Amino acid sequence: MTLPPMEALAATELPRGPEWQYEPKWDGFRSIATRRGRKVELQSKSGQPLGRYFPDIVEALLQLKPKQFMLDGELVIPVEGDLVFNELQLRLHPAASRVNMLARAHPALYLVFDLLEDARGESFLARPLRQRRQRLEAFAAKYFSDTVRLSPATADLSRARRWLRTMGGGLDGIIAKNLDAPYEAGQRSGAMQKIKDLRTADCVVGGFRYASKARVVGSLLLGLYGSDGLLHHVGFTSSLAAGERAALTKKLEALRHAPGFTGRSPGGPSRWSTERSGEFEPLAPKLVVEVQYDHFTGGRFRHGTRLLRWRPDKAPRQCTLAQVEQEARSPLRLIA
């Protein structure tokens, strides 16, 4: 059965009121899990099957006592206390032997936040979240395992704000859900809102890439100095004004100087690298920019960043990884 998941609208602040519940927004793969007897299906947000890439989760769901159910949750992979998105990407490999090796090295978890069908086959889609959550908690207490776990939720706004501010290494924000709303499959609804804690960091421009269709700068490659004194590539920004690109390109070309990054470089070996991903123009570490980002994990910005301003007043050596180090313990403590 293919069921498109209910999706959230982006919001800038946490909604308040007794009708709202708050949950961690995990940095993983959204997946609806369906069991029918000895058959388990894991469906991605786009409707694609994921079971072959997560045999450990399929087996864990088969080990649960109920022979049928439908759950909505997030696939995540913990490594040394943090949830590492890159490990999820590595699972998307055509060779089953490779997938099984990765599953043994770093087993996945399935964090469940909604019950769509119970062990008797009763659909809960039309029921309000407050009822679905009660049934889910009872289902989890009776059947879940170390691999299939209940994702936490709270009605306490102050607690949700603490999660948003201080939880690192795998938490991608907060999801607010209206307790009176049914499960609106395939809809992006205001009854479900996602809020991210946007932060800023000062970064060295260690290189740039030309745009794909013109000889002007397409993106700036960002670096931060580590405790080892090396400049490590941590991400990019491409939010450059079109009218400024030509002049900026000339400025950058005048600063070309290898190697650009003395630590981790762009386009390092991985199955996601392309011929173009390793190509960039290295720069002398002279320029500093302030960027806005939403999540830093695995030694880099999880998504592209937004350029806020140039910082000629900032010394490049002041741009260190300490800016983006998480102040709190791993979010895994929420499900311990």
9-39 pLDDT, tens per residue? Answer: 989 899 999 999 999 999 899 999 999 999 9
Q: State the CATH number of the domain containing residue 233.
A: 2.40.50.140
Verify that 53 and 177 share a domain, yes or no: yes
Verify that 26 and 43 share a domain, yes or no: yes
| Residue 330 resides in a domain | no
Give how far the C-alpha of residue 124 lies from the chain's centroid of Cα atoms, to the nearest Å: 28
| Residue 234 resides in a domain | yes
Verify that 131 and 253 share a domain, yes or no: no
Verify that 26 and 175 share a domain, yes or no: yes
Q: Residue 328 pLDDT > 60, yes or no? A: no
| Residue 21 resides in a domain | yes
25 belongs to the catalytic site: yes
| Residue 33 resides in a domain | yes
Could you tell me which residue, 153 or 270, shows the higher pLDDT?
A: 153
Verify that 210 and 317 share a domain, yes or no: yes
Of 149, 161, 82, 141, nearest to 113 by C-alpha is 149
Verify that 83 and 207 share a domain, yes or no: no
Tally of domains in the chain: 2
| Residue 250 resides in a domain | yes
Residues near 27 by beta carbon (within 8 Å), at least 6 away in sequence: 76, 83, 85, 170, 171, 172, 295, 297, 302
Q: State the CATH number of the domain containing residue 69.
A: 3.30.470.30
What's the DSSP call for residue 5?
A: P
What's the DSSP call for residue 204?
A: E
Report the share of the chain in percent with pLDDT over 90.
74
Domain final residue pick, 171, 197, 223: 197
Domain final residue pick, 197, 224, 240: 197
Average pLDDT value for residue range 235-246: 94
Verify that 216 and 110 share a domain, yes or no: no
pTM over 0.85: no
**Banded model confidence at residue 277, pLDDT cuts 50, 70, 90:** low
Q: Give the model confidence (pLDDT) of 59-112 as tens digits.
A: 999 999 999 999 999 999 998 878 888 899 999 998 999 999 999 999 999 999
Verify that 105 and 247 share a domain, yes or no: no
Average pLDDT value for residue range 230-236: 96
Residue whose structure tokens are 């007043």: 313
Q: Give the model confidence (pLDDT) of 129-138 as tens digits.
A: 999 999 999 9
What's the DSSP call for residue 271?
A: T
| Residue 183 resides in a domain | yes
Domain final residue pick, 197, 215, 236: 197
Give how far the C-alpha of residue 204 lies from the chain's centroid of Cα atoms, to the nearest Å: 24
Q: DSSP strand E in 216-318: where?
A: 217-225, 231-237, 281-282, 288-293, 296-297, 300-301, 306-310
Verify that 70 and 30 share a domain, yes or no: yes
Verify that 14 and 85 share a domain, yes or no: yes
| Residue 138 resides in a domain | yes
Verify that 79 and 94 share a domain, yes or no: yes
Residues near 77 by beta carbon (within 8 Å), at least 6 away in sequence: 28, 83, 84, 87, 88, 91, 106, 107, 108, 109
Q: Give the model confidence (pLDDT) of 181-228 as tens digits.
A: 999 999 988 999 999 877 889 999 999 999 988 899 999 999 999 999
Q: Which of 25, 177, 286, 314 is catalytic?
A: 25
| Residue 335 resides in a domain | no
Average pLDDT value for residue range 225-254: 95
Could you tell me which residue, 154 or 313, shows the higher pLDDT?
A: 154
261, 265, 277 from 258: Cα distances, Å: 8, 12, 17
Verify that 187 and 297 share a domain, yes or no: no
Range of the domain at 124: 7-197
Q: Residue 278 pLDDT > 70, yes or no? A: no
By DSSP bridging, strand 148-150 and strand 109-117 are parallel
Alpha helices (H) along 157-203? 157-166
